[in-house]
C-alpha cells in the first residue's frame, strides 16, 4: 500500500532531529501539519549550506507547493509567529503557504509571565520549562478559559482580553510579578491580529478535504514521547500529547486516516530540563558528544543532558505510538568510540524490568543494564547505503531493530539533507 499520511514523532525526550526528517519527507508531501506544542519546539533544518531554526512554523514552509498547517492542538504565540514569518520572508520565503487553525489556543503575554514566575518559585522542584507559556496556555485551554485564534482576530478581542487580563494580573501580582499594562499590550495584539488574519482559516476542513483528494500529509510532532503529558515522567513533561494520538486530536483527522508512524530516534539519548533520565552519564565521552553534536537547546540554549541509547524507552515509545518504522538520527556522532552501550533493561530493587514505571521514585532507582557493543572508528558522513556502513555500525542498527522490533527505515549520518539514507520508502 502506498502511504498517504505519515506521522513523524520524537521517540525520546525531543531534539531527535525531527525537523530534518520532516523536511526531507515533506519534499514528497502536499501538507505538513504541526499538531501540538508551540514555540517551545526548535526544529533545525539545514540545506544549501544554510541552517534554519523554526519554532512554530512547520518544516515544509521552504517549499511553495506545500501547505503548512498550524493545527488546532497547538498553542500559538501570535507575536512570535509573526516574528518567525517576518524572518523567513527576509530570507526569501514568502510564507503564503501557511494556514493557522482558527481553533488553536493563543499563548498570551500573561501565560509567559506566569510560566516564568512559577518556575522561579518552584526552586529545586522546577520543571525546567522553556518559559514560553506552554503550560499556562494549555491549563487555560482545558479550564475553558483560553483565548482562541478565532477570538484574537475578532472584534470582540479587546473586551475579552481586558476581562482575562484583569484576572491574570491579580494572579501575577500575587506571585510577585509586575502587572501587564492593558492599553500598551492591546495595541500590539491588535496590530499582530491584523497581520496574521490572512493566515487564519478552518484548517480541519482544509486538511480533510486534501486527504479525501489523495494528497500526501506529514504530521510533524514536536517534543517527544517521554515528554508526553500522559506517558512521560509526569510532572516533568510538556503540557500536550506529542505522541501519535495527538496528531489526530490536534489536527482534526480521524485515526483511520493515518497510514504510517515514524519514530525519530537519536542514536544516543539527550534530555533538556529536569526529570529522571536512566542512561544519563557525564564524562569525557558525553562532553565530546555534546560538543560534536552541538547538544544545546535550540530554544533555550541550555546544554542538553547526554545518555546512552535506551531501548526500554524505545520499546515503550514504539508501543504507545504504534510505530511502523524508525528514522535513526546522528549515527555519525558515535564514530570513534571503542565501545557503545545500549540499555536493554533496568535493574530495580533486585529485579529486572523492561518497561517504564509510572512511579518516578521507582524509575529514579532503575539502573540501566547495558549491552556493550564494539564501536567503529571510520568517518561515516559520506556513506550512501546501509552496506557501506562499517560492520559494527550495521550491527548497532540491527541490534536496535531486534530489541524494539521495529525496522530502521531511514538513517542519518550528518545534518545535511543529502546525508539521509532511505532503506525503505515512506511515500
Residues that bind ligand IMP in the complex, under the rule CB under 6 A? 13-15, 40-42, 127-130, 132, 134-135, 222-223, 227, 238-239, 272-273
- As a whole number of angstroms, the distance between CA 156 and CA 310 comes to 50
H helix or E strand, kind and range, residue 420: strand 420-422
Residue with smaller CB distance to ligand IMP, 15 or 332: 15
Closest distance of CB 236 from ligand IMP, Å: 6
Residue with smaller CB distance to ligand IMP, 135 or 252: 135
Residue with smaller CB distance to ligand IMP, 54 or 248: 54
Q: How are beta strands 351-353 and 367-374 bridged, if at all?
A: unpaired
- As a whole number of angstroms, the distance between CA 396 and CA 402 comes to 10
CA distances from 106 to 77, 150, 197, 243 (A): 6, 9, 14, 21
Closest distance of CB 5 from ligand IMP, Å: 23
Q: Which residue intervals of 293-370 are DSSP H helices?
A: 311-321, 360-365
Residue with smaller CB distance to ligand IMP, 9 or 41: 41
- As a whole number of angstroms, the distance between CA 331 and CA 339 comes to 14
Catalytic residue among 30, 43, 115, 140: 43
Residue with smaller CB distance to ligand IMP, 43 or 315: 43
Closest distance of CB 17 from ligand IMP, Å: 11
Residue with smaller CB distance to ligand IMP, 131 or 168: 131
CA distances from 40 to 267, 272, 297 (A): 23, 12, 10
**Which residue number is nearest to ligand IMP in terms of Cβ?**
273
Matching residue, cell 493557522: 100
Closest distance of CB 290 from ligand IMP, Å: 15
Does residue 294 carry a catalytic annotation? no
Does residue 43 carry a catalytic annotation? yes
Closest distance of CB 219 from ligand IMP, Å: 16
CA distances from 171 to 63, 136, 142, 157, 174 (A): 43, 12, 18, 21, 5
- Residue 4 backbone dihedrals phi, psi, to 5 degrees: -115, -35
Contact of 355 with 312, CB cutoff 8 Å:
yes
Smallest CA-to-CA distance from 344 within 392, 306, 399 is with 399
Burial bucket for residue 259 (CB in 10 Å: 0-12, 13-18, 19+): middle
H helix or E strand, kind and range, residue 106: strand 105-106
Closest distance of CB 366 from ligand IMP, Å: 19
Closest distance of CB 272 from ligand IMP, Å: 4
How many CB atoms are located within 10 Å of the residue 98 CB? 25
Residue with smaller CB distance to ligand IMP, 4 or 271: 271
HSE on the CB side for 104, CA within 13 Å? Answer: 36
Could you list the beta-strand ranges (E) of 296-396.
305-307, 309-310, 325-329, 339-348, 351-353, 367-374
Residues catalogued as catalytic: 15, 43
Amino acid at each position: 500500500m502506498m502511504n498517504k499520511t505519515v506521522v513523524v514523532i520524537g521517540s525520546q525526550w525531543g531534539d531527535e532531529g525531527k525537523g530534518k526528517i520532516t523536511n526531507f519527507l515533506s519534499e514528497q508531501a502536499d501538507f505538513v501539519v504541526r499538531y501540538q506544542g508551540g514555540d517551545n519546539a526548535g526544529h533545525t533544518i539545514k540545506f544549501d549550506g544554510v541552517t534554519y531554526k523554526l519554532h512554530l512554523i512547520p518544516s515544509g514552509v521552504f517549499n511553495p507547493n506545500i501547505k503548512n498547517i498550524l493545527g488546532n492542538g497547538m498553542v500559538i504565540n501570535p507575536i512570535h509567529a509573526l516574528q518567525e514569518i517576518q524572518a523567513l520572508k527576509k530570507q526569501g520565503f514568502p510564507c503564503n503557504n501557511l494556514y493557522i487553525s482558527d481553533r488553536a489556543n493563543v499563548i498570551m503575554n500573561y501565560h509567559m509571565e506566569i510560566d516564568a514566575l512559577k518556575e522561579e518559585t518552584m526552586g529545586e522542584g522546577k520543571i525546567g520549562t522553556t518559559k514560553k507559556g506552554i503550560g499556562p496556555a494549555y491549563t487555560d485551554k482545558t479550564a475553558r478559559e483560553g483565548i482562541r485564534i478565532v477570538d484574537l482576530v475578532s472584534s470582540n478581542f479587546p473586551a475579552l482580553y481586558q476581562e482575562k487580563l484583569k484576572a491574570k494580573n491579580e494572579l501575577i501580582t500575587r506571585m510577585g510579578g509586575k502587572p501587564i499594562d492593558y492599553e500598551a499590550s492591546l495595541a500590539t495584539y491588535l496590530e499582530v491580529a491584523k497581520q496574521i488574519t490572512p493566515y487564519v482559516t478552518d484548517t480541519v476542513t482544509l486538511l480533510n478535504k486534501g486527504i479525501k483528494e489523495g494528497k500526501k500529509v506529514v504530521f510533524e510532532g514536536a517534543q517527544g514521547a517521554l515528554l508526553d503529558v500522559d506517558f512521560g515522567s509526569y510532572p516533568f513533561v510538556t503540557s500536550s500529547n506529542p505522541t501519535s494520538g495527538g496528531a489526530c486530536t490536534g489536527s482534526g483527522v480521524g485515526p483511520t486516516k493515518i497510514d504510517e508512524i515514524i519514530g525519530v530516534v537519536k542514536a544516543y539519548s539527550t534530555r533538556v530540563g529536569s526529570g529522571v533520565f536512566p542512561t544519563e552519564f557525564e564524562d569525557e565521552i558525553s562532553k565530546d558528544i555534546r560538543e560534536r553534536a552541538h547538544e544545546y537547546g535550540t530554544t533555550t540554549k541550555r546544554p542538553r543532558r547526554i545518555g546512552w541509547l535506551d531501548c526500554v524507552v524505545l520499546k515503550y515509545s514504539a508501543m504507545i505510538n504504534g510505530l511502523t518504522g524508525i528514522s535513526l538520527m546522528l549515527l555519525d556522532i558515535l564514530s570513534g568510540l571503542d565501545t557503545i552501550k545500549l540499555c536493554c533493561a533496568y535493574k530495580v530493587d533486585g529485579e529486572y524490568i523492561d518497561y517504564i514505571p509510572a512511579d518516578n521514585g521507582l524509575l529514579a532507582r532503575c539502573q540501566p543494564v547495558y549491552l556493550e557493543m564494539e564501536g567503529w572508528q571510520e568517518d561515516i558522513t559520506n556513506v550512501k547505503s546501509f552496506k557501506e556502513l562499517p560492520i559494527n555500525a550495521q550491527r548497532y542498527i540491527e541490534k536496535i531493530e531486534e530489541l524494539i522490533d521495529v525496522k530502521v527505515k531511514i538513517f542519518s549520518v550528518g545534518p545535511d539533507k543529502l546525508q539521509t539514507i532511505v532503506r525503505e520508502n515512506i511515500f
